[in-house]
Amino acid sequence: MDYSQIIGKNIAEFRKGRALTQEQLGDSVGVTGQAVSKWENGGMPDAYLLPDIAAALGVSIDRLFEIEHKKQLPTEGELLELIGSYGFDRLRANDGEAVFKLIFEMIFRLNFSAFKCEDCRSVWDIIDEQDRAFLTSQLILNEGTTYVSLVKDMPYICVTKDEEGLIGKLLGEKNYCGLFGLLSDPDGLKAAIFTQSEYSKDGAKYTADKLAEKMEIQPEKFRELLPLLVRFRFLAEEQLVVDESEFKTYFILQNNEFRPLLMTAWLLINSQQRYYAYCQTRETRFLESKKSQTP
């Protein structure tokens, strides 16, 4: 058995899974990035480096050589503990990007495992190869659905579990028209985007006319939009009393639900139905609203 090929493949896989460059892995074990590249292309590391390599990659030496790998899978609890420990360690080191990449890679691989494919490459390799092509991975089951965007510069994951009554709740929502009416109005969309791009941490307050000026929207039109901007929490309203006179001021809110809405809309607009992995086993309709039967 050619262990040099096995260990090279595994070093590359585990390194990418931890979002490490070849140079970063090399620095952690005292070698150059070129040495790591040589290992990954079939060169065998020196034996004395194996413990440090395994530690840097968060695996055992046996795992590097695929010895009893299939027989010693971690339990769900052990896996969650390892993931949590890694995430906390990276956040303490102010490396939030590594945590994001780990989360994205794990969710993608869980999604991909449903296709019973053992040769799952790193999601980042797939994204890099596709450049800016629109590519997705989708899993559509009766129990729920997953959607993974593999678009370069637009990684996005949506996981939805179909709970009883979920579709009826969504289809019965009466506020959709108000929200989509606000966003379909050019000035309404401009105002919503402004509130997220001009968020003020110091809690600055503005009059309606001052906000209209800052957003470059006609005051009359802005006053028409104000109730919806407050209703959907792009702005907060406060009533003040000064010298027995009442007037309203507004401050900008960070509406974090707006960002995934924009991303989902972008993917919908640009969808070209290209899949890296796709599974459809669903037997029920997504938007089938069950009507109550009256006797």
Q: What is the tens place of the pLDDT at every residue in 199-225?
A: 666 678 889 999 999 999 999 999 999
For the segment 112-131, the average pLDDT, to the nearest whole number, is 77
278 and 148 in contact (C-beta within 8 Å)?
A: no
Q: Would you tell me which CATH number, out of the four given (1.10.10.10, 3.40.50.1580, 2.30.110.10, 1.10.579.10), belongs to the domain 176-252?
A: 1.10.10.10
For the segment 150-173, the average pLDDT, to the nearest whole number, is 84
Query: What whole-number distance in Å separates Cα of residue 59 and Cα of residue 244?
Result: 70
The pair of structure tokens assigned to 164 is: 């009883």
For the segment 72-87, the average pLDDT, to the nearest whole number, is 81
Q: Give span(s): CATH 1.10.260.40, the chain.
A: 1-73
Q: Give span(s): CATH 1.10.10.10, the chain.
A: 176-252
For the segment 144-163, the average pLDDT, to the nearest whole number, is 87
Confidence of residue 72 (pLDDT cuts 50, 70, 90): low
Which is nearest to 158 in space by CA: 77, 67, 240, 267?
267
- Prediction pTM value: 0.66
pLDDT at position 258: 93
Q: Would you tell me which CATH number, out of the four given (1.10.260.40, 3.90.180.10, 3.30.450.20, 3.40.50.720), belongs to the domain 1-73?
A: 1.10.260.40
21, containing H or E segment: none
pLDDT (tens digit per residue) in 257-267: 999 999 999 98
Q: CA distances (Å), 184 to each of 190, 192, 193, 270, in order?
A: 10, 11, 12, 18
Confidence of residue 22 (pLDDT cuts 50, 70, 90): very high
